[in-house]
Each structure stands twice: as structure tokens, then as C-alpha cells.
Chains A and B, each alone.
Chain A
Amino acid sequence: MPESFHVRILTPMREVADIDAVYLNATATDGKLGVMARHAPLLTRLDIGTMVITEPGGVRRHFATVGGVLRVTERGVFVLVEAAEEADEIDIERARNALERARQRLRERRSDPSIDVSRAELALARAINRLRVAGASTPRA
């Protein structure tokens, strides 16, 4: 069995995970990133995306993460993100509503100059990501 390392996923709201892992796959801003035990010290920026953590027993856990950083240290791996949710705790209904709201705002941007387009785009990306991680289909616009 491969050597394991410690992973903590932390957000300003709560500690999302505190687990042992043998492999971690994250979405960094410049591509997918894989981490195994004894990885060199690293600090990288994360994108909105999926994080898959393989536990020593072989169980793979999926998390939806929103902007932040990942740091590899000798004390373990720290995932410091604005928000994170494990696949089974994602509220699909809520994510679908967020998706619809973001699409609505983007549709109205021409007629309503007060709409913050970049914020709406970000909300859209987050909602799509959460739905993807939760394994739910994304309703067509």
C-alpha cells in the first residue's frame, strides 16, 4: 500500500475534511495536480473545480472547491479555500437555483448595467461545478 499523508480542507466557515490520504488530485489554475506522500513543499493557486482524495483503504472522496490555495508541507497538505463541499452534502436543489439565478443575471446584463457580470459568471461556474461534483445533470439554459 502506498505511503499515506494528512489532508485538511479548511474554509472560513468550517473544517470540511481532516483525513489521511494516499493520493490527492486537485484543479490548480494551471492544470490538474496530483499529490502523493513526500511531495516537495508547494504552494499553488486552485481553480473552481473538483478535488478527489483517495483514502488508504482505496475509498475516493470527491469535493467541490472554490478559489483558494493548496499548500504541501511536512505537516501535511492544507487546502485553504473560500468554500468546499463533499459530493454527498451538496444541496442539488440549491445549486440548480443558483445556476438559474446566475444565468438570469447574465441574460439581463445588456438591459441592466448594474449587474456585476464577473460575479455572475463566477456564480455560474460555481454552480456548474457543484452540480458536476454532486453527480447531478446540469439543466440546459
Chain B
Amino acid sequence: MPENLRTLRRKREIVGEIQQITRAMKLVSAAKLKRSLSWREATQAYFEEIDRALGLVAGQVEGEIVHPLVTRRPVRRIGLLLCGGDKGLCGAFNASILAKARQFVRGSDVRVQTYTVGTRTAEMARRARLNVVREFPAISERQRGSDVQDIVRYMMHVFESGTVDRVEVCYARFLSRITNEPVIDRVLPAPLPEARVADRAVIFEPDVHELVQQLVPQHVTARIFQALLSSAASEHSARLMAMTAATENAEEMISDLTRDINRARQAEITSELLDVVSGGDALQRQG
């Protein structure tokens, strides 16, 4: 067999093997996306009801809600929570949130310190020379939320201790299975839901002040949770799309290579035939 045909066959084999991997990753991403969407859905009601309850309390408080987590102060330093993933192979997902973060840092007139979620994001942020002061692993459902709680606690700590005067979260907001949008949202001081007055008199126990103490941290936690869950859904959908495209590309390469292989084999047969025919001719002429 000529070298050419053998190389082509080997190439097709390799592309086939790669396709098996991309197809498997595609299936895994589809399953993970489904899970993270159902997680997001299951928690949606919690976020909405916390906002409703806090809005109700806000409507009851005279003046503004007072709580360390909503107190505005002159901004000398900003903390930026950059939500990404542990892995690549998800198209422009990591690059686009990093671009958003860099744009934010460049446009800020005060110092920005960055906290990353996901090892891949941490690597990219360090390479982009963002001031990374804390790295968190990507969130996982298996942790029952304790990993998210660690992040939330740390964000509250840097704000309350005065290390930073504002905390923003940069993440890819999940819009649909095929689109996401890198955004930056303020988390602290916490933006409050609109004050509402109930249609019927509501009993507040033990009192409005105690409820503020309870609900404001729950509200902040909910906002950070939402950003992280949205980011996770975006990441899985981005990887699902990237792996779908890769699987299709591999399919195309395999069919191209198959055509080349057939052509090469045909050429080989033709040349062998030519050898036989011209050999026969020569023998006849001799005889």
C-alpha cells in the first residue's frame, strides 16, 4: 500500500476518535445544562419571594432601610467577582466575560480587586494582569450550596470590613440555550427591591427592624446565587454549542477524507492495471 493511502486512513481514524470525544462532551454538556436549568428554575421562586418580602418591609420602614450591606459610602476600591468555569472548550464563553471585566477595570477610576470563580477563569484573569486576590473553585450542585455560601460570605466580609466599598459581579447572563450576554451587576451595597404597600394590613413579627436584619443578607445571597447559576447555565450551553459544532466539523472532515481515500485507492488500482497491461504488451511484442 502506498504511503499516501495509509496516512489518509490513519488520519480518518484519528478524526473519528476525536469525534467520539466531542460527541461524548456534547452529551455531557446537554445533561449538565438540563440540570443547571432545573436548579435555576427551582430557586427562581425563592429569589422572587425574598424580593417581595423585602419590598413589603421597605414599604413599612420610615425613610430608607438601614443595614450595613446597603450602606453607600465613598468608593475608594471596588471588588469584582468574576464568574467563569473550570474548563475551556466552550467557545468564547471565558474570553467574553474576561473582555467585559477588563473593560470594566480599564474604565474604573479607582482600584479594582478581582475574585474569580473557576480555575480556568483564574488562569485567564491572572494572565490578563487583573489584580486577582482570591480564587474560588467553580460551583457544583454536589456541594449543596456550601461552595456558593463560601463565596457569599467572603463578598459580605470584604464589603463590611471596608476592604472594598462596592462589589460588582461579572458573569454571562443566560438568555437562551443559544445566547448569553456578559454583564456586570452591583451586588453591594445591595440594590433594594421597590417598596410595596400590601393591600391588606400585614403583621410584622417581631418587628420591621428584625426582619430587615434577616432579609437583607438573604437578598444579597440570592443575587449572588442567581449570578452564579446563570453563569453555570451559560457555560454549559456554550460548551454544548461548541461541541455540537466540533462534532459536525469532524463529520465533514471524515467524509472529505473518505473521498480522498477512495480517490487514492482508485489511483492505485489504475496504476497497477497499467503495470499489468503494459507488462502484457511488452511480452506480446517480444513473442
Query: Which A positions have Cβ atoms within 8 angstroms of B?
Result: 8, 10-15, 28-30, 40-45, 67-69, 71, 74, 78, 80, 82-83
Contacts and interface: CB of A to CB of B under 8 A. Distances in A.
Nearest to A91: B144
B210 A42 contact: no
Given A29-B210, A80-B49, A13 B198 contact: no
Contact of B214 (A30, A41, A45): A45
B152 to A, nearest CB: 9
A29 B207 CA distance: 11
A23 to B, nearest CB: 18
A41 B202 contact: yes
Given A28-B205, A29-B206, A82-B221, A14 B45 contact: no
A43 B53 contact: yes
B45 A42 contact: no
B200 A67 contact: no
B218 interface: yes
A43 B49 CA distance: 12
B57 interface: yes
B1 interface: no
Contacts of B43: 10-15
B132 interface: no
29 contacts: A8-B45, A10-B45, A11-B145, A12-B43, A12-B47, A12-B145, A13-B42, A13-B43, A13-B145, A14-B39, A29-B210, A30-B206, A40-B200, A41-B201, A41-B203, A43-B56, A43-B57, A43-B202, A67-B214, A68-B214, A69-B53, A69-B211, A69-B214, A69-B215, A71-B49, A71-B52, A71-B53, A80-B218, A82-B221
Interface string B117-151: 00000000000000000000000000011001000
B49 A15 contact: no
A14 B203 contact: no
B221 to A, nearest CB: 6
Contact of A43 (B46, B144, B205, B222): B205
Given A45-B214, A68-B218, A80-B218, A12 B46 contact: yes
B260 to A, nearest CB: 53
Given A8-B45, A12-B222, A13-B145, A45 B200 contact: no
A83 B148 CA distance: 13
A40 B199 CA distance: 12
Interface string B210-237: 1100110010011001000000000000
Contacts of B215: 69
Contacts, number: 86
B205 A42 contact: yes
Contacts of B42: 13-15
Q: Which of A15, A44, A45 has the most chain B CB atoms closer than 10 A to its own CB?
A: A45
B50 interface: yes
Contacts of B198: 41
A76 to B, nearest CB: 11
Given A12-B225, A13-B145, A15-B42, A78 B205 contact: no
A45 B211 contact: yes
A116 to B, nearest CB: 10
A69 to B, nearest CB: 6
Contacts of B154: none
Nearest to B148: A12
A45 B148 contact: no
A15 B206 CA distance: 26
Contacts of B202: 41-43
A80 B200 contact: no
Contacts of B200: 40-41, 74
Contact of B205 (A45, A74, A80): A45
Q: Which of B46, B200, B218 has the most chain A CB atoms closer than 10 A to its own CB?
A: B46
A67 B46 CA distance: 14
Q: Which of A12, A30, A69 has the most chain B CB atoms closer than 10 A to its own CB?
A: A12
B203 A43 contact: yes
